[in-house]
Structure formats: structure tokens, C-alpha cells
Amino acid sequence: MVDVMSHLVRRRKDHTLEAPFYTDPDIFDVDMDVIFGRHWLFVGVEPDVAEPGDVMVVDVGKNSVLILRDDDEEVRAFHNVCRHRGARLVHEEKGTVGNIMCRYHSWVYNTEGELIHAEHMGEDFDKSCHGLKPVHIRSLEGLLFICLADDPPDDFDAMAEIMGPYISPHNIRETKVAYQHDLIEPGNWKLTMENNRECYHCGANHPELTVPLFAYGFGFAPEELSAEERDHADKYAATLTDNHKEWEAMGLPSREVDRLDDMVTAFRAERLPLAGAGESHTIDTRRACRKLLGNLTNAKAGGLHFWTQPNSWHHLLGDHAVVFSVLPLDAEHSLLRTKWLVHKDAVEGVDYDLDNLIGVWMATNQQDSDLVGYCQQGVRSDGYIPGPYSPHTEMLVEKFSNWYVERMKSHLSESRSVA
Ligand code: 3BY
Ligand code: FES
Ligand code: FE
């Protein structure tokens, strides 16, 4: 087995990771234990389980997790494992249940996870000792995060306190999932995340996304701009400042908050102006949905970018929201799950056209997936040497890689000192 710690310790700052971090199945197993087993993961939204009895299954490596709304409307999470002989309980990704019955010997659990029926187990059998094993779950204004560890990182509340006011105007709880798309990217999960943390690649690769999104919002080297480009960049900077003032006056927190460095549950957010008509991530830059989110009365609410380590990013717009989660499948494949949310009362074909709603990000996701695949092909090769991140456009990629390296080091040194 590779010595993960020695690779972590010699990692060259401001550079991509060494190849085994993207290719080695043993390091992948450590990632699943340390990163995906012990941190808060974004897995879905409250509207995924809108009504009591609604169930969603999310697979995180070897763990399958049931997320459901109980009869008291509380969202709960349990391991999707029968407490009798361990059979998987729910097999479909989405469904609605009264109770949950195991197919094997018909044990029955209620939506609180309690075992309520088990035949032929004898008089001494105590049903109350055989409820479903709970998984920690928290809702950040309707965005659902789970943690598989017994003791999750204790800074979720600190994130929620800062991010609550940014997210609440979009009222995620009062939305519905208009569309979900699962894309298997041909790359390690860290390549998917690194790709998301920069827009250095946007101009050359995202003809649709760069219609509503200003590439200037993601950094550049001023000395490399032509006079005309510098003029555009200056105008963008002025627009950003003006918009932040306007939005904050309207009750929409907008200024950048960057906690990617100093928290375990690390995150970043900023509300950015949109180009053209300035309303949405659509090809005509106008709202895709007639009904706006929450109490918003103006579609020109910019785009709130919200990122969490290790596995999510979100675009909260005036008329819809797009939320993304990355779930690793193996060392060289990752599931990118994207959900488009619109106001719960919006009607497809009346208030929104589905193709128009999803068009920009369906195209962008495929382009990003191709780019991730090109890197995966490269990191497998003997020709791969860790390369430098741009100090102007990839500083947030460095923050992702640095967070990963520090979290891995911290857990591996803890487990060494215990052993
Ligand atoms: O290129 C991407 O996928 C993301 C979205 C916006 C810029 N970039 C960080
Ligand atoms: Fe579930 Fe037996 S394994 S009832
Ligand atoms: Fe991209």
C-alpha cells in the first residue's frame, strides 16, 4: 500500500497533487474514510422529501443512506441496512413509504426508524434495540448535509449562522426539483472539484455559460490585459461594488465570504452580477421561470455562488437554483448529481420551459466532464508531473487542494497517535 502520509507531507504547495491521489485505489479508500466518512456532505434538498413518507437513497461509497421525512415532518437519515441480517432495505433512489418493510424476513420499521414488527423472534427479543442506525443530518435553509461519522465536525452551526441569511431569501424549502441529472464523470472526485473552483477554463470551454456569467468575476492577471480588456474589467469591478450595495440594501447579503481556509466545514459564497439582461443562467440571460424564488420581486438578484468542501457547489438565482453534489464512485469515476429547483407552484410548460431551464448547465456539465476526463487520462501517464496553479485564477483550487491535504494529514496523524 502507498504511504499516503509521505505523499501528503511532500506535496508541493500551489501545485496539483501527485498522480496517486487521482489514480490509486488505496488512496481512494482513505479518501472515502477520512474525507467522505468524517465531513459534512451535501446530498440533496428538503424538497427531495417534501411529504411525510418520502424517501431518498444516497450512496456514499459502500454506505447507502436513507433520507426520509417522518410523520412529524422531520427529515431524518438512517443507514439503508436491515438490523436483522443486514439486507439493503430500499432499492429505488426515490419513493414514498408508509413504513419500511425489509423484503427478506419482513421486519418493519416506521419513519422514525423504530422496528415495529418482527415475527418469530421469541419472547426475549427487544424490538427497541433493533431500530435503524441513524446518520447525522442537518438542513441549511433546505440544503441537506449528512455526516457518516459518530462525531461530526462541530462547526456546521457556524457555517449555518453565516450562510443562513444568504440562502434564505431564495427559500429552498418552498421549491420543487424540476429536473435531476446524474452524470458519471470519467475522473477522480478531486479533479471534478478542482475544475469547479476556477473559471480559467471557462472562456475556452463554456460557450453557453459565459453568456450569463462574467469571466472577470473569477480573477485575471491585470498586467496581461489589453487596454480594452482592462476597461471591461474595471467596469465589471464597478458593477460588482454597485450591485453589492443595491442587493444588500434589498436584504440580499452579497459580499464575498471565504472560509475555505480556516474551517473544517469549509465554504465560500459570493453574489455575482450576471451579464446581458442579468436575470438568470439561461442562453438569453432572462429568467427561465416566471415565478421567482422566495419573496424576491426582482429577477435581477445576481447569482449567489455557494461552495462547500468537499463535495458541492450551488448557484442560487432569482428565478431558480441549481445545486450540485459530487459522489465518488471509484478512484477514476465520480457521480455529478445536478438538481434544478423552481418555485413549488411553478408549472412546467406554463411558467417555465424545461429545456430552457436546464440548457446552460446541461451543456456546461458535459464540457466540464470532458475536461476532467482529459486530466484523468493525463495523470495516469508517466508524463504527468504536478503542475502550477495560477496565482490569479486558481487560488481557490489551491484552497481546495490545501484543505484536502490538511484534513488528510490531521486524521492520519490522529489515527497514528491512537495506534
Ligand atoms: O466552471 C464552473 O463550472 C464553475 C461555475 C462558475 C465558474 N466555475 C467556478
Ligand atoms: Fe431484513 Fe431479515 S434481513 S428481515
Ligand atoms: Fe467549468
**CATH label of the domain that carries residue 367:** 3.90.380.10
Helix (H, G, I), strand (E, B) or coil at 197: coil
Residue 24 in domain? no
Task: Identify the CATH number of the domain in which residue 108 sits.
Answer: 2.102.10.10
User: How far, in Å, is the centroid of ligand 2 from the Cα of 89?
Assistant: 8
Looking at the structure, tell me whether residues 246 and 391 fall in a common domain. yes
Query: Distance (Å, rounded) from C-alpha 350 to C-alpha 146?
Result: 35
Looking at the structure, tell me whether residues 87 and 233 fall in a common domain. no
Per-residue pLDDT at 418 = 64
Looking at the structure, tell me whether residues 177 and 232 fall in a common domain. yes
Q: What is the mean pLDDT of residues 42-61?
A: 98
Do 300 and 278 contact (CB within 8 A), yes or no? yes
pTM (two decimals):
0.97
Does residue 355 carry a pLDDT above 90?
Answer: yes
User: How far, in Å, is the centroid of ligand 2 from the Cα of 81?
Assistant: 9
Per-residue pLDDT at 86 = 98
Per-residue pLDDT at 215 = 77
Per-residue pLDDT at 415 = 80
The residue contributing the CA closest to ligand 1 atom 4 is 196
Per-residue pLDDT at 325 = 98
Per the document, the length of the chain is: 419
Looking at the structure, tell me whether residues 275 and 311 fall in a common domain. yes
User: How far, in Å, is the centroid of ligand 2 from the Cα of 111?
Assistant: 17
User: How far, in Å, is the centroid of ligand 3 from the Cα of 337?
Assistant: 15
Phi, psi values for residue 277, rounded to 5°: -70, -15
Query: 84, 88, 100, 119: which to mutate for ligand 2, most atoms within 8 A of CB?
Result: 84
Element (H or E) spanning 367, and its range? helix 354-379
Looking at the structure, tell me whether residues 246 and 369 fall in a common domain. yes
Q: Which of 22, 300, 35 is nearest to 147 (CA)?
A: 35
Residue 20 in domain? no
Give the ligand with the smallest distance to the CA of 336.
1
Number of H helices, E strands in the chain: 9, 17
Q: Is the dihedral of CA 185, 189, 192, 195 positive or negative?
A: negative
Do 17 and 386 contact (CB within 8 A), yes or no? yes
Looking at the structure, tell me whether residues 266 and 343 fall in a common domain. yes
Q: With b meaning 16 or more CB within 10 Å and e meaning fewer, what string describes 142-159? A: bbbbbbbeeebbebbeeb
Query: Distance (Å, rounded) from C-alpha 38 to C-alpha 33?
Result: 7
| Domain tally, the chain | 2
The residue contributing the CA closest to ligand 2 atom 4 is 105
Domain final residue, candidates 152, 179, 209: 152
Do 222 and 53 contact (CB within 8 A), yes or no? no
Per-residue pLDDT at 59 = 98
Is any atom of ligand 1 closer than 6 Å to the C-beta of 196?
Answer: yes
Domain that holds residue 126: 51-152
- pLDDT tens, 237-285? 999 999 999 999 999 999 999 999 999 999 999 999 999 999 999 999 9
Closest ligand 2 atom to residue 82 Cα is 1
- Return the C-alpha cell found at 228: 480594452
Query: Distance (Å, rounded) from C-alpha 321 to C-alpha 331?
Result: 30
Query: Distance (Å, rounded) from C-alpha 63 to C-alpha 207?
Result: 38
- This complex has an ipTM of 0.90
Domain final residue, candidates 152, 183, 200: 152
| DSSP, residue by residue, 290-352 | SSPSTT---S---EEEEEETTTEEEEE-SS-EEEEEEEEEETTEEEEEEEEEEETT--BTTTB
Phi, psi values for residue 241, rounded to 5°: -65, -45
Query: Distance (Å, rounded) from C-alpha 193 to C-alpha 401?
Result: 9
- pLDDT tens, 168-217? 999 999 999 999 999 999 999 999 999 999 999 999 999 999 999 987 77
Per-residue pLDDT at 419 = 55
Per-residue pLDDT at 184 = 98
Looking at the structure, tell me whether residues 60 and 174 fall in a common domain. no
Phi, psi values for residue 129, rounded to 5°: -90, 0
Is any atom of ligand 2 closer than 6 Å to the C-beta of 85?
Answer: yes
- pLDDT tens, 119-161? 999 999 999 999 999 999 999 999 999 999 999 999 999 999 9
Domain final residue, candidates 152, 167, 191: 152
By CB atoms closer than 10 A (0-12, 13-18, 19+), residue 414 is exposed
Residue 161 in domain? yes
From residue 267, give the alpha-carbon distance in Å to each of 264, 307, 309, 315: 9, 5, 6, 14
Residue 29 in domain? no
Alpha carbon 388 to its chain's center: 26
The residue contributing the CA closest to ligand 2 atom 3 is 85
Looking at the structure, tell me whether residues 362 and 293 fall in a common domain. yes
Closest ligand 2 atom to residue 102 Cα is 1
Residue 124 in domain? yes
Is any atom of ligand 2 closer than 6 Å to the C-beta of 130?
Answer: no
Do 39 and 309 contact (CB within 8 A), yes or no? yes
Give the ligand with the smallest distance to the CA of 369.
3
- pLDDT tens, 384-415? 999 999 999 999 999 999 999 999 999 999 88
Looking at the structure, tell me whether residues 198 and 347 fall in a common domain. yes
Q: What is the DSSP code (8-state) at residue 38?
A: T
Query: Distance (Å, rounded) from C-alpha 16 to C-alpha 238?
Result: 33
Per-residue pLDDT at 207 = 97
- pLDDT tens, 289-348? 999 999 899 999 999 999 999 999 999 999 999 999 999 999 999 999 999 999 999 999
